[in-house]
Amino acid sequence: MKVHPITLPAFGAVIAGQGGMLAAILRGPTVDGIEQPPFALLVSDAAVGEFEDIAWGEYGKDVPGTSSRTDGKANTEAMALASCPAALKVRELTIDGHNDWYLPSLGELNSAAANVPELFSKDDWYWTSTQDSRDDAFVQDFEDGSSGWDGKGGEHRVRAFRAIPLDALNT
Tens digit of pLDDT for each residue in 9-64?
999 999 999 999 999 999 987 778 888 899 999 999 999 999 999 999 999 999 99
Q: Compute the half-sphere exposure of residue 79: CA atoms within 13 Å on the CB side of its CA.
A: 33
Tens digit of pLDDT for each residue in 104-153?
999 999 999 999 999 999 999 999 999 999 999 999 999 988 899 999 98
Going from N- to C-terminal start, the domains of the chain cover 14-170
Conformation bin of residue 52: beta by default, left when phi > 0, alpha when psi is -120 to 50: beta
Determine the Cα–Cα distance for residues 169 and 55; give it in Å rounded to an integer: 33
Q: Which residues contact 122 (CB under 8 A, 6 or more apart)?
A: 142, 143
